[in-house]
Chains A and B, each alone.
Chain A
Amino acid sequence: MGHSFNSTKTRQARKLEWFPIVNTIVLVLVAILCIFPLIHIIAISFSSSSAAAAGQVRLWPVDFTLASYEYTASRGEFWQSMWVSIKRLALGTPLNLLLTIMVAYPLSKESNALRFRLVYAWAFFLTMLFNGGLIPWYVTLKEYGLLNTIWALVLPGAVPVFSIILLLNFFREVPKELEEAALIDGAGQWTTLWKIYVPISKPALATLALFAMVEHWNSWFDGLILMGNPDNYPLQSYIQTIVIQQNLSNVSRDELLNLALISDRTLKASQIFLGSLPIIMAYPFLQKYFVKGIVLGSVKG
């Protein structure tokens, strides 16, 4: 019996030897496919316009130059929109987090500890199921007088319902004994929340904060339609007008001709890279917390 078992094993090992090799090749090729387009664009952004136009650039800059970046840095609009994005992140992320915590905590209680719990929960959940659509949303914000203000980018999305659901499920896993001990010590709900629940949920909150920041950084459509004045565009909206709408009208043709080293192609490539740079820099953290976020999401009963 031992003999036949061994021979089966050897036969299978021989038959399937090709699999790990082919598999590795396929996986590596797909991984390359995910990252090479970005590297190619970065290489173009650091290349001279003639090299880019001649199609010489692959994955490494040809005739290395910083001209496109120097040009971008000389544009007031670029820094202006960068400043709007920074303001948006600085105001939006803490607000998202604060509201997530303050809503998730009561909703994590049992129905007998909080009257109308189900009503509240449904009120928030319903906003995920149904919405008024683009036009009523736009008209409402206009009515509130938010157009052309930074608050239009911060307030409408202030309550991230999906994050609330993740966090309330996380709060439920906190041992009840901790809360009861705090209660005996005479601590109120606010103290219990900030002294026990928030510190214990730091990894979960870090994940949610990171996701809120990515969301704010990447948003471009609200900026585009809610900010009538391009001076108020966040960076992604600004890049959208330059790179996608090809709106180079504010760059004079003469200016481009004078700067022989840049073309609208290298210029766009540099904008694309700058638009993704914070994400690339935060990527080590993002991917560390990312899997945690998924696990967080699956911790529901």
Chain B
Amino acid sequence: MGTKTRRELPLHLMIVPGLIFIILFSYVPMAGIAIAFQKFIPAKGLFGDQQWIGWENFSYVLQLPSFTQVLLNTLLISSFKLILGLLVPLVFAILLNEVKNAVLKRTVQTTIYLPYFLSWVVLGGILIDILSPSGGIVNGLLVSLGLPKIFFLGDNNWFPFTLVGSDVWKNFGYGTIVYLAAITGIDPGLYEAATIDGANRWRKVWHITLPGMRMVIVLLSVLSLGQLLNAGFDQVFNLYSPQVYESGDILDTFVYRIGLLDAQYGVATAVGFFKSIVSLILISASYFFAYHFAKYRIF
């Protein structure tokens, strides 16, 4: 008993610093959700004598016409991102796997995930320049092809598509590598046997590659479900402007503006709390399904 405790005590001590950090920077802010139920006056502080107003902040938000719009935008943008974010890398990984030339395969692989590592500040800056209707290279190209100019970042009909497209552009390389890793795990003997049986390329993809990737596909789909309310703050914040709020304002940017710019702390916290609760339910459900269908255990 004595030895066991002596062996165990250092393990507890090792965890303590990490535990203090998450208490200070994750759990105390969780307690700060109380702000959603207060008429919060910053000067009095987080633990000050604030006035409690029940659900007033929530009912205020619900009657804002912009809130419904923001919620719809969030769901629309993120669902398109989720679907394409799963499909595009899947198709690309299968196509890349068909390449027999190792140098070409490596070069393409190496090139496609460079944008993944760049920040949305950098990528946003690039997009603002190349998509500009005055002097941007993309519109220059459209005009030289005899097509009309497109206000990718200023037109409400185009803005959501610009968001989805550029998000896929940034992230599909990462997804492709994940899928390729799964393809590598498939027994090559299956392909050899299929070739001997006379199966063509498409049949092999359909009957061997896709079933072999089944687990990864299920896992990624299920886990991305938990991100349904994350339409991509970093991206939207760096690309949007007041003229596209109608189509591009999302929950996170909404919270930022009413909270930090308009200093309506209580209202912004209420919206954030709503988002956190829904996300908690979605993420919990997604881990449950991931465990159920793909035997995925996180720890």
Residues of A at under 8 Å CB distance from B?
A: 5, 8-9, 12, 16, 19-20, 23-24, 26-28, 30-31, 33-35, 37-38, 40-41, 44, 52-53, 55, 58, 99, 102-103, 105-107, 109, 113-116, 120-121, 123-125, 127-140, 142-144, 155-159, 161, 164-165, 168-169, 183, 188-190, 193, 214, 217-221, 225, 236, 239-240, 243-244, 265, 268-269, 271-272, 275-276, 279-280, 283, 286-287, 290-291, 294-295, 298, 300-301
B4-12, B59-67, B70-78, B156-164: which lies at the interface: B4-12
| Chain A residue contacts of B284, Cβ below 8 A | 129
| Chain B residue contacts of A218, Cβ below 8 A | 117-119, 121
Q: Is the CB of A102 within 8 A of B14?
A: yes
Residues of B at under 8 Å CB distance from A?
A: 7-8, 10-12, 14-15, 17-19, 21-22, 24-33, 35, 42, 45-47, 92, 95-96, 98-101, 104, 107-108, 110-115, 117-119, 121-122, 124-130, 135, 137, 140, 169, 173, 177-178, 181, 198, 200-201, 233-234, 237-238, 252, 255-256, 259-260, 265, 268-269, 271-273, 275-276, 279-280, 283-284, 296-299
Q: Is the CB of B19 within 8 A of A34?
A: no
Closest to B180 in A: A291
| Chain B residue contacts of A236, Cβ below 8 A | 119, 121-122
Q: Given A34-B114, A109-B11, answer yes or no on A27-B108 (Cβ-Cβ < 8 Å).
A: yes
Q: Is the CB of A240 within 8 A of B110?
A: no
Q: Is the CB of A136 within 8 A of B95?
A: no
18 A-B pairs in the complex with CB atoms less than 8 angstroms apart: A5-B198, A12-B198, A37-B126, A106-B14, A107-B15, A114-B8, A116-B12, A127-B27, A130-B30, A132-B29, A139-B42, A143-B45, A159-B25, A161-B22, A188-B10, A190-B14, A268-B125, A268-B129
| Chain B residue contacts of A33, Cβ below 8 A | 169
| Chain A residue contacts of B33, Cβ below 8 A | 132-133, 136
Number of CB contacts from chain A to chain B under 8 A: 275
Closest to A122 in B: B299
Give the shortest distance, in Å, between B264 (CB) and chain A (any CB): 9
Query: Of B46, B96, B181, which one neighbours A294 at CB under 8 angstroms?
Result: B181
Q: Is the CB of B126 within 8 A of A41?
A: yes
Closest to B107 in A: A31
Give the shortest distance, in Å, between B106 (CB) and chain A (any CB): 10
| Chain A residue contacts of B234, Cβ below 8 A | 220-221
Q: Is the CB of B28 within 8 A of A106?
A: no
Q: Is the CB of A134 within 8 A of B173?
A: no
Bound Cα distance A37, B118 (Å) = 13
| Chain B residue contacts of A103, Cβ below 8 A | 14-15, 18
Q: Given A34-B111, A125-B298, A283-B117, answer yes or no on A294-B25 (Cβ-Cβ < 8 Å).
A: no
Closest to B170 in A: A34
Q: Is the CB of A272 within 8 A of B122?
A: yes
Q: Is the CB of B11 within 8 A of A106?
A: yes
Q: Is the CB of B119 within 8 A of A123?
A: no
Q: Is the CB of A12 within 8 A of B200?
A: yes
Bound Cα distance A206, B232 (Å) = 28
Given A9-B198, A165-B298, A275-B122, 11 further pairs, Cβ under 8 A: A31-B112, A33-B169, A38-B118, A131-B276, A134-B272, A135-B265, A140-B46, A159-B21, A218-B118, A244-B128, A279-B118
Bound Cα distance A287, B180 (Å) = 14
Query: Of A116, A121, A164, A265, which one neighbours B135 at CB under 8 angstroms?
Result: A265
